[in-house]
Amino acid sequence: MKFEKENLLESGLILPVLLLFIWWAGSNAGWWNAFLLPSPEKVIDSFVLSIQNGELQKHVWASLERIIKGFGLSASIALSLALLCSWFPPLLVQLEPTLEFLRHIPPMSVIPMLILWFGIGEAPKIILIILATFFPVFMNALQGIRDCDPKLIEVATVFGYKKWHQFKLVILPSAIPSILTGLRLGLGYSWRSLVAAELVAASSGLGYMILDAEQLSRSDVVLMGIFVIGALGAFLDYGFLWAMKHYLKRGIEA
């Protein structure tokens, strides 16, 4: 019995279960207007219905496709640039003021310009994801490479490894945890920025689904969309974390 109690306390389930219960009880007792906060049953019904008619899968896939493209591109650019900058420091000196300026601009603020330049197609959404995810990936990768213990590099030097092998065998593996943290942060940012982009200009995707439901006064679908976004984001994050732990546990045996 004691063991079960401890399990419950450690599971982190108490708060969501409590909130769900209050939501369910309040909805059934009529504590608030059902339009402002529809009951859990209604949200579940709209979830089941949108799966049955294939709408949800369509929107989820549209959003995921944008994430894959945007985040994939962003991570490739950010990692390559971080490697180049660490390999050739004058490049970083040249880029730093520009990057520092760009880093402080909220990606959402450039949406009007992106629509003006690229229309309302896929390009502005992908670019928005790139803008939102570039910096966490780039900064973490760069920091990880910079933080490599110089004493370990000396070990490689003593055993005759030249610069390229020092980088490949010591600097890069030591930066892996930091690089993975950056990628994880970037993945979270990509999800948030995507939904914002789809709220502004899109004809598919979870953001669009929410906006469309708002215009049709379907607060149950809006809530359902929010839950799906949260669940998908958490699922991706857990998946990434699992892969990260699995990879680090195996060791980066070069």
Partner 1 sequence: MSWLSIVDLKKKYALEDMNVDALSGIDLEIEQGGFIVIVGRSGSGKTTLLRILAGLEQQTEGRIIFKGRVCDQEHPLPVGMVFQEPRLLPWLSVENNILFPFHPEDRAKDLHSKATGLLKMLGLEEYGNAMPHQLSGGMAQRVALGRALSCDPEIVLLDEPLGALDYFTRRALQRELVRIYLEGGKTFLMVTHDVGEALRLGTRVIVLKKGKIEASIPIGLEYPRDRHCETFQALLDEVLSALDDAE
Residues at the contact surface with partner 1, assessed by CB under 8 A: 151-152, 154-155, 157-160, 165, 169-170, 173-174, 176, 251-254
Q: Which amino acid is at 91?
A: L
CA angle at 203 for the pair 201 and 206, rounded to the nearest 5°: 90
CB contact at 8 A, 125 and 196: no
Identity of residue 247: Y
Q: Give min distance, CB of 182 to partner 1, in A.
A: 18
Q: CB of residue 193 vs partner 1: minimum separation in angstroms?
A: 33
Nearer to partner 1, 111 or 170 (CB): 170
CB of 164 to partner 1, least distance (A): 11
The nearer residue to partner 1, 61 or 247, going by C-beta atoms, is: 247
> Cβ of residue 238: shortest distance to partner 1, in angstroms?
23
Q: How far is the CB of 31 from partner 1 (least distance, A)?
A: 54
166 and 153 in contact (C-beta within 8 Å)? yes
Least separation in angstroms between residue 140's CB and partner 1 is 17
Distance of CA 201 to the CA centre of its chain: 20
Under a CB-based contact definition with an 8 Å cutoff, are residues 199 and 208 in contact? yes
User: Please, which residue, 104 or 151, has the CB nearer to partner 1?
Assistant: 151
Burial 201-218 (b: 16+ CB within 10 A, else e): bbebbbbbbbbbbeeeeb
Closer residue to partner 1, CB minimum distance, 107 or 182: 182
Both tokens of residue 69?
């493209």
Structure tokens at 120: 């309302």
**Residue 40 vs 173, nearer CB to partner 1:** 173
Q: Is 227 exposed, middle or buried (0-12, 13-18, 19+ CB in 10 A)?
A: middle
* DSSP state letters, 84-116: HHHHSHHHHHHHHHHHHHHHTS-GGGGHHHHHH
Minimum Å gap between C-beta 181 and partner 1 is 15
5 versus 151: smaller Cβ distance to partner 1? 151
**Nearest alpha-carbon partner for 180 in 245, 86, 99:** 245
In terms of CB distance, is 32 or 159 closer to partner 1? 159
CA distances (Å), origin 63, targets 2, 140, 149, 194: 44, 26, 40, 7
